[in-house]
Every structure is written in structure tokens, then in C-alpha cells.
Amino acid sequence: MTLYGIPPAGFRRFMVPEDGREHGRSIVDAAHGWWLENRGGTGEVAIAVGTLAGLALCSPSQADGPDYGPLLIPLDDGELADALRASWNSLWASDPVLADAAGPLHAWLADPSETDIRGLADYARILVRAGLLEYCSDLARCESEDLLGLLVQRMRGHGQKQATGEFFTPSIAADPAGEIMLTDRPASGAVLLEPCAGTGSMVRAAAAALRFQGLDPGRYHWWLNDLDTINSACCAVNSRLWRLGSNVTVSCGDAFGDPRDLEEPTYRRAERAIAEHKHRTLLYPTRTRPPHWHL
């Protein structure tokens, strides 16, 4: 049985590319192609990437987990926005500090306009059809490519990237670099700092290299920093998708000045998020039951 021409998860797993990188790029191709055709331009990075990130966080925690596609496919634009709020509420419930760091990707959901949510239900169907849920639930696939980073790069024009000096490290280059950097196994509990993380492509490669060596990335303290607010927000989401563990710090600032200028505001922001979480159980009011699929 199919809804909107989208087959069940078992068939979607069979239909997607076998190679994880190829599958990841096909998802981004579908997302970017839909956005250009239906929304036009590249000025809505937070909405396009934030919607993909919110849906990615809805993925089952195991590759053979349940099919959540039928819950998402029938939704209209308003209902899809509500489901996204529930997804971010779930992250807030489990990790308010990361949810706060990811704010640039979901803040628009607080009071979206009709223009903001126009066509989002169709966009979500495109992502489900492309196998986003199956991709993110399978760690071997998910850590083979940086979906959020690829989409950010597609959504930003050449001039914008030139102005900021931004360069996305492709997986084909990041993966061997990660293997070389971690030839000597770091001690358990070591801080692994990426001062210019972008959306986290090198961190993804490093975590994959550790797993290949039989080590658990959750045994380390990861610190991901970038000057760009969208990039650092993507790092927060990617740290969940790539299963980096609970000891993750995400910051946004200049990492090449006095370290205290970065550390102090980052820790203060984390303390505020934790304090706010004590009396604010939900980030956003929603009619949708929070999907505690990652808890």
C-alpha cells in the first residue's frame, strides 16, 4: 500500500542507493531541487535546512525500526509545522542545551507565516520518499555524509560563500583526514576540539574513524565551534544524528582569540538553557504528541 505514491519503509530501504554517500547526496539533490522549483531562490536556509533537520530527528533509533512515514505523509502544511515543533520539543526534553544551540534552525516555528510553511508538507513527502528516515536511522549510512552541510552549501549562493570564505570539506576528503588524525588513539575522556567546524564534516569523519577502531565516540568530549549561526546549529543536530554521546559542546564565535571569550558565554548560555528547561517543559505549544523516538 502506498500513500501519495510513497511506498512503505521496507520498499524504501530496497529502493535507495546501496552506498551511503550516494544515498545522502540523492536526498540533498531531491531537497534542493524541490526547493528551487517550488520556493525559488536560496534565501530561506533556516527553513529548508531546519525542516530537514527536524524530520531527521524523527527517524527511528534503529535501522530496522518502525516506519514513521505514514504519520508524516498525510499531513498538510500546518500539521507538518506542528509535527516539527513536536520533534524539537523532544530534543528540548532530552537535551535542552543542544536544542538551544540548534535554535537558528527552529526559531522560525515560534510564529511562522503562511509563506514560511507554504509547501512544507510536499517538501516532507519528497524527503520521506528519498529515504531520509531510513538514512538517519542507519548509523553506517548517516555517518557517511553530512546531509545538513551539503544542503546548506546548496542553499547558499557562490557570492555568499565567497564573502565569508566558507569551504565545505567533502566526505571524500574528510574521511581519510579523520583516519590520519586519529592514527594514535586518543585517551578516553580527551577533548576533541574542532574550532572551525562548519557543519561538522570533519567531526563526522573522526567519529567514524573511532568506531572503525572499535572505540565509542561517546567516551570523548566533543567541542564543535563555528562563526556562522546556521553552521553551529547544524553541528548541534549532527551531534545527535552521528551519536556523539552526551558530552558535546557546541559554540558560535571566534575560536582564534582569547579562549575565555568563547568558553564563558558558551557555558553561561548552557546554564541558562538548563535553568529555563526546569520551568519550560516545551519549547513550542503543539497539538501533536511529542515523538519520544530518541529517548
Phi, psi values for residue 170, rounded to 5°:
-65, 155
The answer on pLDDT for 222 being more than 90 is: yes
Q: What is the pLDDT of residue 165?
A: 58
pTM: 0.91
Q: What is the pLDDT of residue 9?
A: 66
Over the chain, what is the mean pLDDT?
Answer: 88
Q: Which helix (H) or strand (E) holds 144?
A: none
Lowest mean pLDDT among 17-21, 24-28, 77-81, 196-200: 17-21
pLDDT, tens digit (0-9, with 9 covering 90-100), for 62-90: 877 788 888 888 999 999 999 999 999 99
**How many Å apart are CA 56 and CA 3, to the nearest integer?**
20
**How many Å apart are CA 163 and CA 83, to the nearest integer?**
35
Sign of CA dihedral 78, 47, 141, 295: negative
- HSE at residue 203, side-chain half, CA atoms within 13 A, is 37
Question: C-alpha 204: how far from its chain's center?
Answer: 12
pLDDT, tens digit (0-9, with 9 covering 90-100), for 108-156: 999 999 999 999 999 999 999 899 999 999 999 999 999 999 999 999 8
